Structures are given as C-alpha cells and as structure tokens.
Amino acid sequence: MAKDLEKENKKLKKKAKRSGTVALVLILLLLIIAAIFILFKPFGLGLGLLGGTGLGASQTAASAAPADTTAAVTEETGDTVTYLDVTIKDAAYILDGSEVSSYDIVSRAQSASGKVIVRLTNDNGIIDAYDKLTKALEQNNITFEKDSSFDVE
C-alpha cells in the first residue's frame, strides 16, 4: 500500500512539473509577442521604439514634414503666391511639423503677404475636421486646394 502511494505521489509530481513547464513556455511566448508589437509597431500598433518600422511609419514621417511655403509669382497679375501645406491627420491639423488649430491656419494665411493658397493633404483625416477647416477658410475668403483623397463617393 505504501508503494502504491509512492507511485501515485511520483505521478502527481511529474504531472505538476509538466504543467508548470507548459505555463512557463506560454508566458515566454506571450512576452515575445508583446515585445514585437512594442518595438516594431507592426500593423500600426505599439509604440514603435525602433524607428517606426511598421506599416504606419511612412504616414507619420510624411505628416511631420515641414510645410512648403514656396512663394511664386503669377504671370497674370504679378502677385506672389504663398502655399501653406496643411495635413489633416485624424482630427488634428499639421502645419510646419506641429499640430495647430484651424484658427492658427486662418490667421497665418491672413498675415501672409500676397495671395495665399492652403493645400490640404489627407492622412487618415476625419471628415468633420476637414469640413471645419474648409468652412473656416471659406468664411475668411482664403483659397484652398485639396488632394483627391478627400473626395468621398
């Protein structure tokens, strides 16, 4: 009877050891997957600590580019034309690499000398943010151009 209890005790210890090993392997696997998401930002998730190598990296780099405020002279009138490049990303407006309000864009366009054209670029922008900005530009008689990604059918 003591031998049976000893055998049963050994079986239970082996079983417990196996289940502990399986749990440890699963925990390590989950930690590795979490590290991949945090460091490499796949599928637009995570923090992107290694330079934003995920799918969303090119969008973020494009929206952080400074605005092209090139002044050109039109042949018809001889006026200088200044372009303000504004990127609408989510609900935010990006101008010269920093987030600004629609009021800031309007005041900057009004303070520029000559003709000003605000060029709007869509970077997963929310349509309400686009509508708010275009309404403010129209109310202040500021000319704007938009890229074709704003056209919704």
Reading the block at residue 151, the tokens are: 């056209």
H-run or E-run covering 118:
strand 115-125
Residue 54: DSSP 8-state: S
Strand, helix or coil for residue 78: coil
Structure confidence at residue 9 (pLDDT): 75
CA–CA gap between residue 36 and residue 38 (Å, rounded):
6
Domain that residue 67 falls in: 60-150
65 and 91: one domain? yes
Structure confidence at residue 113 (pLDDT): 79
pTM for the model? 0.49
Structure confidence at residue 43 (pLDDT): 56
Residues with pLDDT less than 50, the chain: 45-47, 50-68, 73-75, 153
74 and 141: one domain? yes
Structure confidence at residue 38 (pLDDT): 73
Q: Is residue 21 part of a domain?
A: yes
CA–CA gap between residue 60 and residue 86 (Å, rounded):
14
